[in-house]
Structure 1
Amino acid sequence: MPMSAQEIENMIRAAIPDAQVDITDLRGDGDHYAARVVSESFRGLNRVQQQRAVYAALDGRMGGVLHALQLTTAVPN
């Protein structure tokens, strides 16, 4: 069963409470999403480390329940 955008957002916010999260369903199928995650906790981390933090928040669902996630991370301006 696919994940909803709200489920993805909730999981990210639970792990990264200060995150600003924007989720877009790319195909309308609940299986291909884009996410933009902005968090102060990313400051000082390189892009790979930031993305690993988001994937860790998804608790192993990437590649299974959640097929594809186009991920953009950033620190606040």
Structure 2
Amino acid sequence: MPVTQEELEAVIRAAIQVTYVNVEDNSGGCGEKYAVLIVSKDFEGKTTLARHRMVNEVLKTQIAQIHAFTQKTLTPQQWEDSQKASNATS
């Protein structure tokens, strides 16, 4: 059975204290390629590599079942800064 967006989001929410999470199925609905954006206080003080390792560990069962997985992990401050920058260029 393919991995669903809802499953990925539920597993992330159960393991990481998220401020915001967005899971996109980039495979056209077959559940083989996902991109996630996770905003969490849990990422504060951690390098990007440490954040990605944390997410990979949380989703190891699901990642093993899909073809491609990309992630962007931000602290709440980084998310706020990126939203301000995005709004400034709009």
Report the TM-score range of the alignment, normalised by the length of the smaller protein: 0.7 to 0.9
| Contact 1:13–1:19 under 8 Å retained in 2 | no
Q: Normalising by structure 1, what TM-score?
A: 0.88
* Number of matched pairs: 76
- Superposition misfits of 4+ residues, deviation over 3 angstroms: none
Identity percentage of aligned residues: 34
Which amino acid is the alignment partner of residue 53 of structure 1?
A: M
Q: CA RMSD in A?
A: 1.3
Alignment of 1:5-16 (within 5 A): 5-16=5-16
Distance 2:19 2:58 in 1: 12
| Larger RCO: 1 or 2 (CA < 8 Å, sep 6+) | 1
SS of residue in 2 equivalent to 1:50: helix
Cα drift, residue 43 of structure 1: 0.4
Give 5+ residue unaligned stretches, structure 2.
Answer: 78-90
Render the CA deviation track for 1:26-75: whole Å, top value 9, x for unaligned.
1222110100011011000000000111111114332x212211111110
Alignment of 1:36-75 (within 5 A): 36-62=37-63, 64-75=64-75
Q: Normalising by structure 2, what TM-score?
A: 0.76
Give 5+ residue unaligned stretches, structure 1.
Answer: none
Structure with the higher helix share, 1 or 2: 2
Which amino acid is the alignment partner of residue 9 of structure 2?
A: E
